[in-house]
């Protein structure tokens, strides 16, 4: 019996390499889990059973013939439905692309496939990545496996629900303003938003091109590092990827946090649900016990983050969504849902003649001030720690009719996208059986350090061992 | 073409300077046309109200003096990234047309945009 919700990538790889399980059995176990739970949770838009089992058989043949296998060989994963997958329907969660079959793979997908990872399906999301709850999907809302009356967080809603419920060993995600970290926090998962340009955006349906970061959701910090080892690096198809050499992120992950200087940005500790504040401060105490030093710092322009973000992001959205004209692929523009229309209108307005300087240009100036706050902070500290969400997972329907309230769910996450810095959500406890997460934020290209800090905390607390009670 | 500016949609600074209550609004018909979106009357009404709330919120940025601040170009500092001007394997014509709803002899087919003479 394979317990899909308990297994990690690290453990599954070991079982495969030692020939204790077959790749086909493993994939079948995850597909069975999807069959059992997807109707309840709506985590997947598309399940690719035949393709997945065929791939798994190929991996088994390699293992049986004693050839060396890659460390992701036979690992079943879910791809957020913004990632182009060759000959597998890619909808972006929107009716506009309900029948779209890409003719190529996103770079991150082809890298994962080269390492032998197996796509078992495409995960649900707020259409085009627009949302913080998963409720903006044109294919129905995803539910939180920890409490089916609550949202899993968005926009990588299906990715989070799939991993949390044991329907995939990991899932890819995109984070433009918190879309990996928020669902990770709401579903007790580790979620990485890498440095802008660390992972290729090629083939991932663009939301806001100067902010989009390509990452993934896993159960553990080690698993997250393992995936980044595959996806990070320069891509000639995405000229905003960096030529800074990618690290080996699993190497020295056990280094610990002795003398690590942690900054607590005071602006991020205001207006929180008290339990969230307590859990985060407890986590910081744990890290202090492990040898870290804690300093209170300030990021003075934090309060302008959401305002700058809700100019820059819709502006870029309106430009990126202009290509959907129903001529080369997909349906006509009438098929856009309400949230996409709202952002297209807002962004078209803020970019239009006479308003560009007052809005977009102004926001890009404020963006510099926000980035400089981070630059200054990282002169004094190694990482920052703050909560990922000001609240616990909220109820389905609670914020859907008030877009501004929904936008404010991202209040603690958008600034990192504006600054381009990496941030790792790590689970930090539960309140009334609902999970909460904290984010560890570092300077550009410091993912290795974030993993070391996250790993040290995780080894002490092991929140990932706590699973949702699903029937 | 010269754009007609609706009086209620002046940039926020303009109205702030006049001492009025900053309550920005969008000329929704004009913007919908620019964005090539056809909106129902109900959508127009809802969006106008919601977007006005959002604009009132983002006008918070005007509290900051950014006169001497350079706007962000590329966030990790990349500049003028170029590559060799060499062709590489790309999509075939068949692949490029695969998802099109209407094609004609290997082309995308679209409605006429120019009046016949």
Question: For B36-84, how does the pLDDT look when each residue is reduced to its tens digit (9 = 90+)?
Answer: 999 999 999 999 998 998 999 999 999 999 999 999 989 999 999 988 8
**Residues of chain B with C-beta less than 8 angstroms from the C-beta of A351:** none
* Position A250 in a domain: yes
Q: Is B86 on the interface with A (CB under 8 A)?
A: no
In terms of DSSP bridges, do strands A44-47 and A76-80 run parallel, antiparallel, or are they unpaired?
unpaired
For residue range A228-284, list pLDDT tens digits in order.
999 999 999 999 999 999 999 999 999 999 999 999 999 999 989 999 999 999 999
Q: What is the C-alpha to C-alpha distance for residues A18 and A23, in angstroms, rounded to an integer?
A: 12
Query: Is A369's CB within 8 Å of B69's CB?
Result: yes
**CA-CA-CA-CA torsion sign (A136, A137, A138, A141):** negative
Mutate: best of B76, B79, B90, B94, partner A, most A CBs <10 A: B76
Q: How many domains does chain B have?
A: 1
Q: Is B100 on the interface with A (CB under 8 A)?
A: yes
Mutate: best of B6, B72, B89, B91, partner A, most A CBs <10 A: B72
The pLDDT confidence band at residue B7, using thresholds 50, 70 and 90, is very low
- Name the residue facing B11 among A307, A358, A368 (closest C-beta): A358
Q: Is B1 on the interface with A (CB under 8 A)?
A: no
* Position B32 in a domain: yes
For residue range A177-207, list pLDDT tens digits in order.
999 999 999 999 999 999 999 999 999 999 9
ipTM of the complex as predicted: 0.88
What's the mean pLDDT in A338-351?
Answer: 96
Average pLDDT, chain A: 97
Query: Is B54's CB within 8 Å of A310's CB?
Result: yes
Q: Which residue has 């570092």 as its token pair?
A: A442
Q: Is B61 on the interface with A (CB under 8 A)?
A: yes
**Bridge partners (DSSP) listed for residue A294:** A262
* Position B42 in a domain: yes
* Position A4 in a domain: no
Residue A175: its H or E element: strand A170-175
- State which residues form the domain around B12: 7-63
pLDDT beyond 60 at A425:
yes
SS3 call for A144: strand
Query: Is A359's CB within 8 Å of B31's CB?
Result: no
Mutate: best of A307, A343, A420, partner B, most B CBs <10 A: A307
Nearest CA-CA partner of A123 in A109, A113, A110? A109
The pLDDT confidence band at residue B23, using thresholds 50, 70 and 90, is low
Query: Is A363's CB within 8 Å of B69's CB?
Result: no
A:B CB pairs within 8 Å? 151
What's the mean pLDDT in A90-119?
Answer: 98
For residue range A42-74, list pLDDT tens digits in order.
999 999 999 999 999 999 999 999 888 888 999
The pLDDT confidence band at residue B2, using thresholds 50, 70 and 90, is very low
For residue range A133-160, list pLDDT tens digits in order.
999 999 999 999 999 999 999 999 999 9
* Position B88 in a domain: no
Q: Is B13 on the interface with A (CB under 8 A)?
A: yes
User: Mind spelling out the 3-state secondary structure of A45-108?
Assistant: EEECHHHHHHHHHHHHHHHHCCCCCCCCCCCEEEEECCECECCECCCCCCHHHCCCCCCCCCHH
The pLDDT confidence band at residue B10, using thresholds 50, 70 and 90, is very low
Where residue A208 falls (left for φ over 0; alpha for ψ -120 to 50; beta otherwise) is beta
* Position B58 in a domain: yes
* Position A107 in a domain: yes
- pLDDT, residue A406, reads 87
* Position A65 in a domain: yes
Residues B48 and A342: beta-carbon distance below 8 Å: no
- Name the residue facing A103 among B70, B74, B95 (closest C-beta): B95
**A409 carries an active-site annotation:** no
For residue range A275-328, list pLDDT tens digits in order.
999 999 999 999 999 999 999 999 999 999 999 999 999 999 999 999 999 999
Q: Which residue among the candidates A155, A156, A409, A446 is catalytic per the annotation?
A: A155
* Position A3 in a domain: no
- pLDDT, residue A326, reads 94
- pLDDT, residue A427, reads 98
Query: Is A344's CB within 8 Å of B35's CB?
Result: yes
Q: What is the C-alpha to C-alpha distance for residues A168 and A44, in angstroms, rounded to an integer?
A: 10
**A179 carries an active-site annotation:** yes
Percentage of chain A exceeding pLDDT 90: 95
- State which residues form the domain around A302: 9-465
For residue range A444-462, list pLDDT tens digits in order.
999 999 999 999 999 999 9
What's the mean pLDDT in A411-423?
Answer: 97
- pLDDT, residue B83, reads 87
Least confident of A130-134, A389-393, B53-57: B53-57
Q: What are the backbone dihedrals phi and psi of residue A61, each rounded to the nearest 5 degrees, phi first?
A: -60, -40
Query: Is B100's CB within 8 Å of A328's CB?
Result: yes
Query: Is B69's CB within 8 Å of A404's CB?
Result: no
Query: Is A307's CB within 8 Å of B110's CB?
Result: no
pLDDT beyond 60 at B12:
no
* Position B69 in a domain: no
Q: What is the C-alpha to C-alpha distance for residues A99 and A102, in angstroms, rounded to an integer?
A: 10
- Domain containing A225 — which CATH number? 3.90.1300.10
**Residues of chain B with C-beta less than 8 angstroms from the C-beta of A359:** 11, 58
* Position B49 in a domain: yes
Q: How many domains does chain A have?
A: 1
**Residues of chain B with C-beta less than 8 angstroms from the C-beta of A338:** 43
- pLDDT, residue B4, reads 38
């Amino acid at each position: 019996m394979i317990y899909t919700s308990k297994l990690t990538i690290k453990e599954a790889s070991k079982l495969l390499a030692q020939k204790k399980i077959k790749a086909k059995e493993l994939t079948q176990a995850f597909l069975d889990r999807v069959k059992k739970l997807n109707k309840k949770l709506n985590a997947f838009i598309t399940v690719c059973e035949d393709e997945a089992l065929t791939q798994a058989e190929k991996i088994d043949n390699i293992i049986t013939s004693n050839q060396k296998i890659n460390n992701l060989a036979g690992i079943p994963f879910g791809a957020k439905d913004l990632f182009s997958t060759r000959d597998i329907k890619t909808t972006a969660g929107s009716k506009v692309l309900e029948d779209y079959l890409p003719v190529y793979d996103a770079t991150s997908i082809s890298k994962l496939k080269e390492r032998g990872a197996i796509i078992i399906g495409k995960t649900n999301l707020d259409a085009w990545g627009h949302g913080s709850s998963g409720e903006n999907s044109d294919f129905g809302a995803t539910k939180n496996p920890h409490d089916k009356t609550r949202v899993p967080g968005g926009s990588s809603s299906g990715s989070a629900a799939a991993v949390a419920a044991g329907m995939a060993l990991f899932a890819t995600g995109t984070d433009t303003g918190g879309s990996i970290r928020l669902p990770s926090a709401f579903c007790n998962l580790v979620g990485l938003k890498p440095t802008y340009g660390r992972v290729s955006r090629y083939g991932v349906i663009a939301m806001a091109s100067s902010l989009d970061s390509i990452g993934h959701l896993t159960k553990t910090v080690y698993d997250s590092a393992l995936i980044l080892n595959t996806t990070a690096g320069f891509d000639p198809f995405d000229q905003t990827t960096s030529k800074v050499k990618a690290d080996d992120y699993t190497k020295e992950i056990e280094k610990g946090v002795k003398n690590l200087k942690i900054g607590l940005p005071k602006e991020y500790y205001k207006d929180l649900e008290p339990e969230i504040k307590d859990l985060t401060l407890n986590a910081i105490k744990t890290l202090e016990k492990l040898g870290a030093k804690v300093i209170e710092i300030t990021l003075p322009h934090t309060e302008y983050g959401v305002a700058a973000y809700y100019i820059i992001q819709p502006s870029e959205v309106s430009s990126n969504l202009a290509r959907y004209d129903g001529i080369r692929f997909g349906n006509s523009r009438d098929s856009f849902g309400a949230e996409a229309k709202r952002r297209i209108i807002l962004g078209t307005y803020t970019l239009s003649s006479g308003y560009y300087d007052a809005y977009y240009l102004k926001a890009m100036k404020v963006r510099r001030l926000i980035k400089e706050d981070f630059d200054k902070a990282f002169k004094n500290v190694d990482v920052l720690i703050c909560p990922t969400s000001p609240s616990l997972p909220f109820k389905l329907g609670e914020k859907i009719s008030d877009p501004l309230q929904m936008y404010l769910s991202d209040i603690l996450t958008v600034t990192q996208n504006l600054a381009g810095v990496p941030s790792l959500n790590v689970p930090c406890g539960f309140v009334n059986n609902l999970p909460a997460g904290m984010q560890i934020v570092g300077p550009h290209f410091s993912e290795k350090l974030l993993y070391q800090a996250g790993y040290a905390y995780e080894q002490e607390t092991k929140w990932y061992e706590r699973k949702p009670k699903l029937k | 073409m010269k754009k007609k500016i609706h009086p209620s949609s002046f940039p926020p600074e303009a109205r702030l300077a006049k001492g009025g209550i900053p309550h920005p609004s969008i000329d929704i018909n004009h913007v919908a046309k620019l964005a090539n979106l056809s909106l129902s009357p109900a959508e127009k009404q809802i969006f106008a109200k919601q977007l006005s709330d959002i604009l009132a919120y983002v006008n918070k940025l005007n509290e900051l003096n950014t006169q001497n601040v350079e706007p962000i170009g590329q966030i990790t500092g990349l500049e003028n990234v170029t590559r060799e001007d060499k062709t590489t394997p790309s999509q075939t014509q068949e692949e490029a047309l695969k998802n099109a709803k209407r094609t004609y002899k290997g082309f995308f087919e679209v409605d006429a945009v120019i009046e016949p003479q």
